[in-house]
Amino acid sequence: MTDPDFPVEWLTPHDTELSWEWDDMHMPMAVTPLGADYVRTLASGFAYGYQRLEIPVEILVRVWNGYVYFAVDTAVPEAEQAAMWERRTEAARALIPLTDAYWREKAIPELRGHYEWVAALPVETMPLDALATAWDEAWARIGRCWSIHFHAIRGPYQVLEDLADLYESIVEKAPPGEALGLIGGGVHELHDVERQVEALAALVSATPDLAARFGKPPVTVSELASRRDAAALLAALDAFLVEHGHLGQSFDDLSLSSWIEDPDLLLTELAKRVEFPVGVGAEERRERQAARAETLAAAVRERLADDPEKRERFDALLADARQIGPLTEVHNYWIDRMAQSSIRRFVMRVAGRLVASGVIGGPDDVLYLSRDEIPDLLRSPADRRGVVLARRSTQAHWAAVRPPMKLGAPSEDGEHDRFDGDRFESTEPNELRGTGASAGIVRGRARITRTQDDFGAVQPGDIIVCASSNTSWVPLFAIAGGLITNTGGVLSHAAVVAREFALPAVVGTGDATSRIADGRLVELDGSTGIVRLL
């Protein structure tokens, strides 16, 4: 399938035989040329993941007109593919008992090593020839982080799929997201982020004059540096940014900065907490989720009182799921967000050298060069400001276009897993349908949230309407009334985080960001997946 308004230049003749789907979950906007190279680096990790499973599958990526498309390719005959995918499932199950040790003893130390190596490069002072060589190694190291990603996630997602399958076979007509509540209330990085944001807000509130300043216009770090009553807050903020500052980007887009680059983004969220204190604290909310998880588990055990074999299987699955299941989102904290922040900060430091050499006019211009162009421009600087201007214009044109969801060979929508979920269509003018991902019925004003620049507009009680979300959205989830996404299933990043925050959520509506007007009063049911426009 091709669209005359969306011209596509096929990379190989084989590409025309594949079905390509726009990844509007992770990259819902047109990316820059260097952003496209980052996506290719990210996608390179898929190969390692399938190699470790010994499954002959390739996940291919193409960027057309700034939009990211993926396709699944395999040489296995169609008649044998069902058996191949079953082997993939069994291979993932075999990883379940190995995942915890792998993550703690191997993955985390290696990830830290790569990030520390990139951060320690003396970019500002090293010879340009040496920096050109370091440029390639830095990107290779971040690529390795994504290889770890696509291996480490196999066991966690599989155990939650298995647990949900078992739960839904036991509990008749269970809401789609209910089974995943069995692992709620754990202590992990997402909980710590919210706990520390809460502590920062408390520091502000403890100083009345400082709290009064956290209204409008937005306060900035540079302003706080001139206030004597902000010393304790700034010290705590610095400590927070050292640990969690790699968060803040709304999507996998290299043009988006993290909190450590732009801490004023975080101050905007603190201001909301100061003006509208959160009713339920982080620890109390975690305890409630843990208690609910135990209630759900007890109900299952009661149903299985006369089936000890099935009960034993449930308890074993539950134990594994509680041990490694949280990695379905914790990995996003350690890899998706941290890798992106690491390479972007490195890129911006390199951009400073290119500006000094007259190659580009400003740091953000580096995003309009390609990964392969930059080493040569470091070794032999040449003015690329005209090239950057032309590429900016092209990207701006395509950013205003909604791309086709699918390209290439026609394909039928098959059965989706719980991460991608299904897309629903509703013929009712004032109703949208999706998957109920986090229980609760709530009404509120819709706040269309496309990027982190829109975070500031979200006020307590608002219903966030977005393409998708990730761990960077944690500060918003503690104040929002509900969540509606275009994409995802009950194991998507948005759904997992929403359940941790007991935030009613409907995911996979397909087109909520275009059908719901900003400020419109809406009602969502996080069990049925129904969204009503009021």
β-bridge mates for residue 485, sequence order: 466
Whether 347 has a pLDDT exceeding 90, the answer reads yes
Higher pLDDT, 526 or 413: 526
Banded model confidence at residue 41, pLDDT cuts 50, 70, 90: very high
pLDDT digits (tens, 9 = 90+) for 239-249: 999 999 999 99
Banded model confidence at residue 413, pLDDT cuts 50, 70, 90: low
The CA–CA distances, whole Å, from 97 to 151, 164, 257, 533 equal: 14, 18, 36, 45
Q: Which DSSP state fits 3?
A: B
How many angstroms separate the CA atoms of 519 and 455, rounded? 14
The CA–CA distances, whole Å, from 214 to 273, 281, 479 equal: 10, 20, 17
Model pTM greater than 0.75? yes
Which structural domains are found in the chain, ordered by start? 1-152+342-411 (no CATH), 155-183+282-325 (no CATH), 189-275 (no CATH), 431-533 (3.50.30.10)
Q: pLDDT at position 219, please?
A: 93
How many angstroms separate the CA atoms of 521 and 519, rounded? 6
Banded model confidence at residue 418, pLDDT cuts 50, 70, 90: confident
| Cβ–Cβ under 8 Å, residues 324 and 155 | yes
State the DSSP H helix or E strand holding residue 498, giving kind and residue range, or none if neither.
helix 493-500
pLDDT digits (tens, 9 = 90+) for 60-91: 999 999 999 999 999 999 999 999 999 999 99
